[in-house]
Amino acid sequence: MTSGGNSLTAAVLLIIMMKVFSVLTQSCRSTMYQAQGLCCSKCPAGNRVKTDCTETAHTSCVACEDGTHMDKPSGLKQCTHCTICDLNLNVKKKRACTTTSDTICEPRDGFYCVDYDGVHCVEAQEHKPCNPGEYISQAGTAFRDTECSVCSYGTFSDGTLKFCRPHRPCESLNLKLIRPGNATTDAQCEEQDENVVLSWVITGCLLLILLIVILIALCLCRKEIGCLKRGESNRTMKILS
């Protein structure tokens, strides 16, 4: 009797151990999670587990609190805190956090991302400015810095242009060149002064007239001197004769 009782006890213990082992090693479906040897239904996105399921009750779920989220069904009892976009790291909020999705951060305007975690930008850096004498060959984006190139000869840029501009052709525009252009500044021109031009024309004409008068006077003077010399020569010959 004792031997039979021991055998029965051993059999019961074996069954219990096998039951426990099978529960511990069983695999729950993807829509469920394991808790206290049971496969419990996961809470939907935007919710967390309040209490695990039992043999007589389903999983109890509760919505995520403000400032937290759960982006997929889970058996977790705590929602994840929303990411904060740190302005000190030059990032701003692109999309606000909800109970089902985390915050998405992006670079501030004029900045590009230098630390990206695969979901949002963690840190950004300001686009570099182009120097005077250079133009913006490739504008900066949220994930790329600005690219600059040097202006070619005969053109200029202050560093803010997307292409270098040719120097102003003063002479071709009938203007007076004040200062030649270089890689950073344009040529400086000014209007021709019509009064100055007119005065030069008048002065030139007066000088020409004066020159003509002088030449005529010289010719007349030479002619008169010649006449005087011939008259004196004739008087001398008369006296001698």
In the chain, the percentage of residues whose pLDDT exceeds 70 is 80
Question: Looking at the domain 25-81, which fold is it?
Answer: Tumor Necrosis Factor Receptor, subunit A; domain 2 (2.10.50)
| Amino acid occupying residue 229 | K
Question: Which candidate, 140, 104, 109, 102, places its Cα nearest to that of 121?
Answer: 104
Contacts of 5 (CB under 8 A, 6+ apart): none
pLDDT of residue 11: 63
pLDDT of residue 226: 65
Whether the domain at 25-81 and the domain at 131-197 fall into the same CATH topology = yes
Superfamily of domain 131-197: Tumor Necrosis Factor Receptor, subunit A, domain 2 (2.10.50.10)
pLDDT of residue 1: 46
* Choices 3.40.50.300, 2.120.10.30, 3.40.50.10490, 2.10.50.10: CATH for 84-126: 2.10.50.10
Instruction: Determine the Cα–Cα distance for residues 136 and 126; give it in Å rounded to an integer.
Output: 15
Q: Where are the domains of the chain?
A: 25-81, 84-126, 131-197
Contacts of 136 (CB under 8 A, 6+ apart): 130, 146, 147, 148, 160, 161, 162
Low-confidence ranges of the chain (pLDDT < 50): 1
Pair of tokens at residue 110: 């004029």
In our burial notation (b when 16+ CB lie closer than 10 A, e otherwise), range 176-191 reads: eeeeebebeebbebee
Question: Which candidate, 11, 38, 12, 13, places its Cα nearest to that of 24?
Answer: 38
Cα 231 to Cα 167, 189, 217, 223, 238: the distances in Å are 73, 66, 21, 12, 11
pLDDT of residue 202: 84
